[in-house]
Structure 1
Amino acid sequence: SDRDHRCTTFRAFVEERPGEQWRAHVRRHWPRLRPSGVDDPFTTTWRTSVLGLSIPALGAMSADLAAAAELDDPGLTAFLTHVDPPRPEVTGRQVTGGRALVRNLDADVTRHEWTLWQSRLGRRRVMGTTAGLWGLLDGINEDGLVVSLNSDREVRHDDAVHGLSGPLLVRHLLEHCAVVRDVDEALTGWRTATTHDITV
């Protein structure tokens, strides 16, 4: 059927700080990505507070990205926090062959963004495949650290009911880590909404 033979266009852009290309990226995918139940001002305030208290640097980035999008939609502000994401983003497998990393992702084709973004939202340049507009399915930073999300399964734990998404975790690690040994420290205090498998 036609549904089995979909085609898509991959996009890439380089923009260190969110600007015109960020706004185009947001408008391309919003409101298609917009979950229900994000209109309530209390929900928006609560989500921004959770991210700001959990990972202050990411909270500031999220606020900057929301402002730079120039959309009058409080739902976008809530969405960009990646707090309690509405559904798992991805499952899949990957293998290495020589110096190549081959990834086979099982992602909803209607929700995948098909976009690579090279940015400098913090101290490091980061390039990766976007999910949730600024989260990343995989990526590399200027220090050569590579992080990829293999699965983001809907398995919740009692101590992680209010948590963050897998794609935001990948962004966090690439923004804050220079080498693999930095990852354990960066994960301290990370509250996860689902069970994540990542490769570093």
Structure 2
Amino acid sequence: MLELSFDSVAEPLLGPKWQSLYKAYWPAYKKWYESNGADKKPSLGIAKNRLQRYMPEMMPTYERMCELAGDDNTAHRFLTGWQPPAYISGCSQAVFTDSPTLVRNYDYHPHLIEGTLLHSSWNGKQVMAVSDCLMGVLDGMNSDGLVVSLTFGGRRNVGRGFGIPFVLRYILEFCSNVAEAVEVLKTVPVHMAYNIMLLDKTGAHSMIMITPQQQPRVTDMRACANHQGELRWPDTKRFPNSLERERFLNELLSRPGLTEWEMADNFLRVPLFNTRYKRGAGTIYTAVYRPAEGYMQLRWPDKTITQSFAYFEEASTPIFIYAPDLEEELKSK
């Protein structure tokens, strides 16, 4: 069994707690950010210009993060979110509209996740989100009742744009409903293909297919996995059951009398629950968001973390993941 730690952290405004997270994770992020050559990254001037152009409301937050990060040009470029390395994760997600609920599995390598659920209020709205890239989010919800979540879209081409976790952070900081979030995704360029699920407290929902250098496709799909239409990536070994997962979710959503909690329970079972950890596609957690009530859960087969805007408890929660493929790899080293 692999042991991970999921930390629930509350800090309304950027301060020492975020700075501690930065100090803990920046060395690994720096190595990743420079993985294809530091000289190939955009200059700080260009990166800041793009942030100012597309997400100007984030500039005060960005500048405060740079203060906390210290005098580090590379960190300042990274924190703009502009043109990061390729970012590929698995994941399945679905929305239940009768009683607005978004459920998703985040599938990735267990050694490459921050493991932080951050409750903040950087720009007026409260936000609870699973943190990524120090500024960005993998999934989350704000106090206006808007939920966002990402999955990889299955296309490996890389274009000019922002890393999607940074854009989702921007949406949670400044949007109040699905319609506003859709407009952001239509105007802010994203550097890779992703499927973005949106839900708000009214039950309004949308699934946006993003592909670099193309107009986003806005759909009313209630479930998605790791493809957009047909599987186009020649090497589908990493996500071989994307079609099966999406088909299973659609069949699940069509069952008469299905409740949101029955739907959520299915995310902890095959085919939605994945154990391909060595390939970077094992299920790290299941998230359940209830925007009308303002609370959420992080779930595992033997454990659940429940948090809300009204009552958020800071804690460090040990999580045990059964990953025999990774354990064998570690034993052989």
TM over 0.5: yes
Partner residue, 2:63: 63
1:69-95 CA-partner distances (Å, limit 9, x unpaired):
3x3321111111111111215221124
Preserved CA contact (<8 Å) 2:120 2:126? yes
5+ unaligned residues in a row in structure 1: which ranges?
none
Pair 86,153 (structure 1): closer, same or farther in 2 beyond 3 Å:
farther
Is this contact kept in 2: 1:11–1:115, CA < 8 A? Answer: yes
| Letter of the structure 2 residue corresponding to residue 57 of structure 1 | E
* Structure 1 ranges of 4+ moved more than 3 A: 37-42, 95-102, 152-157
Residue 24 in structure 1 maps to residue 20 in structure 2: yes
Within 5 A, what are the aligned runs for 1:50-89? 50-69=50-69, 71-89=70-88
Once residues 41 and 90 of structure 1 are traced to their aligned partners in structure 2, the CA distance between those partners, rounded to angstroms, is 22
Shift, 1:39, TM fit: 7.4
User: Contact 2:129–2:140 at 8 Å: present in 1 too?
Assistant: yes
Deviates more, 1:11-20 or 1:90-99: 90-99
Number of equivalences:
192
Q: Which residue of structure 1 lines up, in the alignment, with residue 312 of structure 2?
A: none
C-alpha contact 1:149 1:199 (8 A) present in aligned 2: yes
Query: Displacement of 1:6 after TM fit?
Result: 2.1
Alignment of 1:134-153 (within 5 A): 134-151=135-152
The 5 Å alignment of 1:160-179 reads 161-179=159-177
Identity %: 28
Q: 1:39 to 1:76 in 2, by over 3 A?
A: farther
Equivalent residues in 2 for 1:63-142 (5 A)? 63-69=63-69, 71-95=70-94, 101-142=102-143
Deviation digits for residues 12-42 of structure 1 (CA, Å, limit 9, x no counterpart) = 2111211010110101111111121447997
Question: What is the RMSD computed on CA atoms of the aligned residues?
Answer: 2.4
Q: Kindly indicate whether the alpha-carbon contact (under 8 Å) linking 1:87 and 1:154 is maintained by their aligned counterparts in 2.
A: no
Distance 2:41 2:197 in 1: 36
One-letter identity of the residue aligned with 1:132: C
Q: Which has the larger radius of gyration?
A: 2
The residue that corresponds to 1:49 in the other structure is: 49
CA distance in 1, matches of 2:179, 2:95: 21
Whether the 8 Å contact between 2:93 and 2:197 is mirrored in structure 1 is no
The 10-residue stretch of structure 1 (22-31 or 42-51) with the greater mean CA deviation from structure 2: 42-51
Pick aligned residue for 1:186 from 176, 184, 187: 184
Q: Which amino acid aligns with 1:11?
A: D
- Match of 1:199? 197
The C-alpha deviation readout for 1:173-198, integer Å capped at 9, x for no partner, is 11121111222222342111011211
Please say which of residues 180-189 and 190-199 is displaced more in the overlay: 180-189
In structure 2, relative to structure 1, the CA distance for the partners of 1:54 and 1:96 (3 Å cut) is closer
Aligned residues of 1:43 and 1:78 also touching (Cα < 8 A)? yes
1:12 equivalent to 2:8? Answer yes
Structure with more strand by fraction: 2
Quick one: structure 1 residues 180 and 62, their matched pair in 2 at CA, closer, same or farther if it must change by over 3 Å?
A: same
Mark the CA change 1:96 to 1:190 in structure 2 (over 3 Å): closer, same or farther. closer
Counterpart amino acid of residue 5 in structure 2? T
* Kept in 1: contact 2:90–2:108 (CA 8 A): yes
Give the whole-Å Cα distance in 2 for the aligned partners of 1:153 and 1:163: 17
**One-letter code aligned to 1:105:** Y
